[in-house]
């Protein structure tokens, strides 16, 4: 009876250690198999100024960036539009408060 309880004291931790080692090896293999997505950027040129009431604006530095999987050519993340909007107040007697 004493020998069987000693076996369980060694067998259970050994089985747990083997299970943890197998899981950690499986995780490292799956991360190595994935490929990194490729970022593609497209530059847009905006030449038309915008005018809203007494404000005029101009877009600068517009870029569209999307991430594509190189193996399947599928879009991984949604495209992002980034740029700068420069506003100018053309009125001498009106003011604008920008919120955001």
Encode pLDDT of 67-91 as tens digits.
Answer: 999 888 898 889 999 999 888 888 8
Instruction: Enter the tokens of residue 1.
Output: 């009876």
Q: Is residue 97 part of a domain?
A: no
The residue range of the domain holding 60 is 35-88
pLDDT at 8: 61
Signed CA dihedral, 21, 22, 23, 25: sign only: positive
DSSP state of 90: -
Q: Is residue 61 part of a domain?
A: yes
Q: Is the pLDDT of residue 100 over 90?
A: no
Residue 85 C-alpha from the chain's centroid: 24
State pTM to two decimals.
0.52
Q: Is the pLDDT of residue 6 over 80?
A: no
In this structure, the strands spanning 75-89 and 50-52 are: unpaired
Shared domain for 55 and 71, answered yes or no, is yes
24 φ, ψ to 5°? -70, -35
Count of domains observed in the chain? 2
Note the pLDDT tens digit of each residue in 39-73: 999 999 887 888 888 889 998 889 999 999 988 88
pLDDT at 40: 92
**Which residues, including other chains, have CB under 8 Å from residue 7's CB and lie 6 or more apart?**
none
Q: Is residue 84 part of a domain?
A: yes
Shared domain for 26 and 52, answered yes or no, is no
């Amino acid at each position: 009876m004493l020998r069987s309880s000693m076996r369980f004291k060694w067998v259970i931790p050994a089985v747990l250690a083997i299970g943890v080692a197998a899981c950690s090896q499986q995780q490292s293999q799956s991360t190595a198999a994935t490929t990194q997505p490729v970022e593609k950027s497209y530059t847009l040129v905006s030449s038309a100024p915008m005018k809203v009431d007494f404000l005029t604006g101009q877009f600068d530095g517009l870029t569209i960036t999307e991430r594509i999987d190189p193996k399947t050519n599928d879009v991984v993340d949604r495209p992002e539009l980034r740029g700068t909007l420069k506003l100018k107040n053309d009125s001498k007697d009106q003011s604008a408060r920008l919120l955001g």
